[in-house]
Structure 1
Amino acid sequence: METTRMHLSSPRARRLAAGATAVALGATIAAAAALGAAPANAASADVTDASLSWSLSNEANAGAYFGGCNFLSAGVAGNSGASAPWTATNPSPGYAASAGNVSIAYPKAAGGTSTPTFATKCQTGDGTTVTPATSTRGVLTLAEGTGTVDAAVGTADIAWDGGFTVAFYGGLTYWSAEDPELHVAADGTGELTATVSGYAASRDGGSWAPLTPRTVHLATLTDVDVTSTGITVSPDWQGVEPASATSLNKTNADWGSWPADFVDFQNETGQSSYWYTSGANDAAAKKPQPISIAYTAAETPTPEPTTPVTPEPTEPTEPSEPGTPEPTTEPSEPGTPEPTTEPSEPGTPEPTTEPSEPGTPEPTTGPTTGPTTEPTTAPTTPAPSISTGGTTTFTVGDSVPLRAEGLPAATVYSIVLHSDPVVLGTVTTDADGAFATSVVIPTDTPAGAHTIAVESSDGTAVVSLAITVTADGTVVVDPIDTTTAVTTGAAVNTGGTVSGTSALPWIGLSAFGVVALGSVAFIAYRRRVTQQD
């Protein structure tokens, strides 16, 4: 045992042990750096004020051949007892423009909205009675939705409390939806579901019986763009072909249907053919209108991991003989003062740091592992932009989603259609300088090039979107408004998202570098030990 202790106390063994320690420390630092290299997870942001606005379809707000019109009502309507038009007192609860978190509004041609009543539910926001060829363009809004969104990953889970009712032919047939839920996956697919209930009925006043409540898809979604301020998306329609859509007509190139389980349910309410193309020219009336959701995301990111500060490795000291105090430095040969660093070759002053490869100037300090905290990228304010959420074509008279960001916070703007100015509405930006709303291009808008502008109180356009109206009333959103981009510096888009690059890739290289430097240090130790021994 004594021989072994003396061997471990030799300078050569100590230097080998120190070299091994350096490698171990290098590996530890590398592992810590690798952990620091992983970017903080973009944690889901809590949402407590999500507002969903939707017209469902033009048909759901159109004039009817009997009963006055089809209409939306806030709240879940009671049992009227028979297939008959509603009255002011039956069903109970009956018609309502607001109920809890749910409200109904009718847009005006010159901008703004009006609140309908039972007496005016079949009139436009300007007071004109609708016909089977026209629509009130009623907008249903569900407020105070709660959940989480993750704009970086592209996911969202939001739920609303409250219900609404959809009545056709003045109430001969109606159904209700409660507590909608939105789910969006990272691949951009999503669904809007709700619990539906209603009554087995027919438009000719036939059968009447309560239906079993069930959960169905109000909308299936594709290519959903989840942003930090909202979502605007057109539900799937074109090419959707439920098995129960027995009278589906594919003559129109835009033929389609609402989700299959939704159509199954409507087969029982007596409204089935109003939710898919059953004629050659009814696609524009029956297809789902865009859904617009706005919210304020209260981000709660995961704390950024930091690289732990590792003390500089020091030469381990060998335990001394029993009863002998251990010197704080290595003992030198008998009669020779012990240097504070490893002895160099005879006649050569010992450098204060490890020698580099021959011909390379020795650094005055040892290698570093980079900063001990992650560098951060200062947040940047996005350029003003305006989007229709990916909707590139629609028809005059449709309710069109509109979303903008990069504007001053808490500021009132007017949305104006040019060339002949027509105010489509007013909005107020949120705390992030964004807004989400819906506007209607008037049906009498002449064919040609037009611009939807967001204007400040002095009439200055801060951002705009170019559109073209064709002779048949189709509205095409131009991909880029070059005039706005040049004159105002605003970015114009139709719903795309640009993601920045990571500011952290150097961390991974630092971890690799620490391992490499640890290996070099060990090789240097071995080389010196071999030369000295």
Structure 2
Amino acid sequence: MRFRPRTTTGSRRGRHTVGAVAATAAMIVAAVAPFSLSAGPARGAGPSGSDPFTVTGAQLRWGVNNESNNRAFAPGTHNFFSAGIVPDPGRGGTTLPQSSWRASEGDVRIEKQQADGAYALATWDGLTTTPQGATITSPASGQFSNHQVVLGAGSGTVDPATGFATIAWKGSFTVLFYSGMSFFTVTDPTLTVTPERAQLTATAGGFASDMEDQAQWSALPPTPVVLADLPRAEVDLTAADGFASTPAYLGVDWQVPADESAQVGGQWKGAFPSSFLDFLATAGTAGYWYSTGGSTDAYKPALPLTVSWAGAPVVAPSPSPTATPTKPTRTPTKNATPKPTEAPTAAPSRPPSPTAAPTASTTRPLAPAPPGTPSSVDAATAPDTGVLAGGSATSPLAVQPVLVQAATSPPTSAAPAADDTESHVLWLLGCVLLLGALATTLISTSLVSKPVEGTK
């Protein structure tokens, strides 16, 4: 007689149960894994609240001021930008030939506003025309070429919680007045933010010139300067894409050297940072960067600039052409003329810890439709004086609009907290459903299992 192993109903049921549990567990893992991966915050998709982050593709966009986009007083000359450092002409009194001008070099581009409000790479012919293509008739016409300097690939760190940030750009651009009879260069701008202050600094260079003695032409040493003092309240380090800020100018005093024109008061009283003006005084063009009482004083204030963490459009209001100037963030005292900045501030003493860099947005940079073209002043100008012949009134202030997001493309950034909540809800829902499936499988196994004969 042969004996077979004794098999009980319980052991057979156990094997069925174990198999069902293993299969269902595998289904749970496969189904829950995607929810688990998406449950946490998406690092690298942009700033998350107060978390520190790094940037590697930051963009700086600035039109500097309208005077840099204006027609100059010398016949046939204009003020404009060039990417890179233009060649040394070797002597004063010369204008820049087209062959020496650059629309782009490295990570630096010069872009011009188009008739539809968008920006495109600048052209040589566009340096002397409005966005609509009309010729700029005179320095006091209130018409400008509306170019912006655009620097890309900025890198650094931003820590919204502590209020510190440092972003540096590599590259140079040149600001040319009188078509190059006088010019200076700006190299490697750096944005430095502390809880109390925000500044854009750079190294300035160029040549000493004099409109009264055009034979004067000598190289200036590289000089660290503050290009812009930014109102700290406008520098929002928690913003998803970046920020827009109008640098201080109106109401700012400058201790004017004895050989420069006195600073005047009135509606357009103001000045760029003192270290920048001190350098420009040696370059021979300081008078275009503070209020001197000339007919173009309304065109000297700094235009808004934008800093984008990853090159995405930054939403910012476009200043009105007839806007009343706002008070400066720090009102100068009556008995003193303090310099807004003595020298560039040092880098933050507590550098933020880096995390993932935000990814770039694919939204096309757009600008609002340009404001109505101001009426031209049909009067002759007195060369080199900055005053209209016959005492014609100055046109209202015209400004370049700042890039804004297209109306058809709403901001893509979402609140991190909302994303996290939705992911966790989906994860819990998946677990509940699959646990229900497991329970159903176990019950079904118990009901369909039948006893098996133990011996023969």
The TM-score normalised by the length of structure 2 is 0.57
User: In the alignment, residue 250 of structure 2 is paired with which amino acid?
Assistant: Q
- For residue 95 of structure 1, what is the amino acid of its counterpart? W
- The one-letter code sitting in structure 1 at the alignment partner of 2:300 is K
Q: Is the 8 A contact 1:229 1:294 kept in 2?
A: yes
**TM-aligned CA deviation for residue 111 of structure 1:** 2.6
Alignment match, 1:108: 114
> Which of 61, 66, 69 is equivalent to 1:53?
61
Letter in 2 for 1:190: A
SS, match of residue 252 in structure 1: coil
Which residue, 251, 254, 270 being the options, matches 1:242?
Answer: 254
The aligned residue for residue 64 of structure 1 is 72
After superposition, the Cα gap between the structure-2 partners of 1:113 and 1:99, relative to the gap in structure 1 and judged at 3 Å, is same
- Which residue of structure 2 lines up, in the alignment, with residue 441 of structure 1? 370
More helix by share: 2
Offset of 1:280 from its aligned partner? 6.0
**Cα distance in structure 2, aligned partners of 1:445 and 1:68:** 21
Match of 1:129 among 105, 129, 135: 135
Report what 1:212 is aligned to: 221
Asked whether the equivalents of residues 248 and 278 of structure 1 are also in contact (C-alpha less than 8 Å), the reply is yes
Q: Are 1:262 and 2:191 an aligned pair?
A: no
What RMSD in Å do the two structures reach over aligned CA positions?
A: 3.7
Which of 289, 296, 310 is 2:303 aligned to?
289
Say if 1:436 and 1:234 are closer, same or farther in 2 by CA, change over 3 A: farther
Residues 149 and 120 (structure 1), Cα distance of their counterparts in 2 relative to 1, 3 Å cut: same
SS at match of 2:88: coil
Distance 1:124 1:253 in 2: 26
Q: Does 1:225 align with 2:154?
A: no
Tell me the residue number matched to 1:509.
Answer: none
**Does 1 or 2 have the higher relative contact order (CA < 8 Å, sep 6+)?**
2
Q: Distance in 2 between matches of 1:139 and 1:237?
A: 18
Give the letter for the 2:268 counterpart.
Answer: D
Q: Once structures 1 and 2 are overlaid, which stretch shifts more, 71-80 or 124-133?
A: 124-133
Deviation at 1:432, TM superposition (A): 6.5
* Letter aligned with residue 127 of structure 1: G
Distance 1:121 1:473 in 2: 20
The answer to whether the 8 Å contact 2:299/2:397 transfers is no
- Contact 1:193 1:217 (C-alpha < 8 Å) held by counterparts: yes
User: How many residues are matched?
Assistant: 296
Structure 1 counterpart of 2:155, one-letter code = T
Of 120-129 and 431-440, more deviation after overlay is shown by: 431-440
Q: What secondary structure is seen at the aligned counterpart in 1 of 2:173?
A: strand
Partner SS for 1:241? coil
Which of 112, 136, 139 is equivalent to 2:148? 139
CA drift at 1:115: 3.2
Question: Per the alignment, do residues 290 and 438 of structure 1 end up closer, same or farther by CA in structure 2, a change over 3 Å counting?
Answer: farther
SS for the counterpart of 2:261 is coil
Q: How does 1:275-286 map to 2 (within 5 A)?
A: 275-279=289-293, 282-286=296-300
Per-residue CA deviations over 1:145-165 (Å, capped at 9, x if unaligned) read: 000112344432100000000
Query: Within 2, Cα distance between the matches of 1:185 and 1:294?
Result: 18
Shift of residue 442, structure 1, vs aligned partner? 2.1
Query: What residue ranges of structure 1 are gaps of 5+ in the alignment?
Result: 1-39, 298-384, 398-429, 447-470, 478-483, 492-497, 504-533
Q: C-alpha separation between the residues in 2 aligned to 1:244 and 1:266?
A: 12
| Structure 1 pair 49–237 and aligned structure 2 pair: CA distance change class (3 A) | same
Cα pair distance change 1:154/1:436, threshold 3 Å: farther
Name the stretch that deviates more: 158-167 or 214-223: 214-223
- Aligned position for 1:168: 177
User: 1:441 offset after TM fit, Å?
Assistant: 3.0
Shift of the 271–440 alpha-carbon distance from structure 1 to 2, 3 Å rule, reads farther
1:195 and 2:195 correspond: no
Q: Tell me the CA shift for residue 100 of structure 1.
A: 0.5
TM-score by length of 1: 0.50
- The corresponding residue for 1:184 is 193
On the 8 A contact 1:249/1:255 being kept in 2, the answer is yes
Alignment partner of 1:151 is 2:157: no
Greater fraction strand: 1
- For 2:209, the aligned partner's letter is A
